[in-house]
Amino acid sequence: MSHHYSIRNLLNIKDKNITFDENFCSTETIKKVKAKVFHGTLTYQPKACYACGHVFDDQIIKHGLNVSH
């Protein structure tokens, strides 16, 4: 059983396209509260934006990663 499966199972994540590296978890202070933060990577580029429906093409420039809370 891979650690990817175990982490997805623990966090109840159904998407198998999310992977976790060796340093997948850290302890951070968020709004003065200590919290465990899990870091994952989406392993593919979606065909279109889920929010607005814009199709991903060579006109879109990716400037980094989005943080999800």
For the chain, the structural domain boundaries read: 1-61
- Structural tokens at position 23: 């340093």
> Residue 4 CA to chain centroid, in angstroms?
12
The pLDDT of residue 61: 55
Q: Model pTM greater than 0.75?
A: no
Q: For the segment 50-67, what is each residue's pLDDT rounded down to a tens digit?
A: 777 777 776 655 555 566
Phi/psi at 5 (5° precision): -65, -45
Best CA proximity match to 14, nearest among 23, 24, 5, 1: 5
Q: For the segment 31-41, what is each residue's pLDDT rounded down to a tens digit?
A: 999 999 888 88
The pLDDT of residue 47: 78
The pLDDT of residue 68: 59
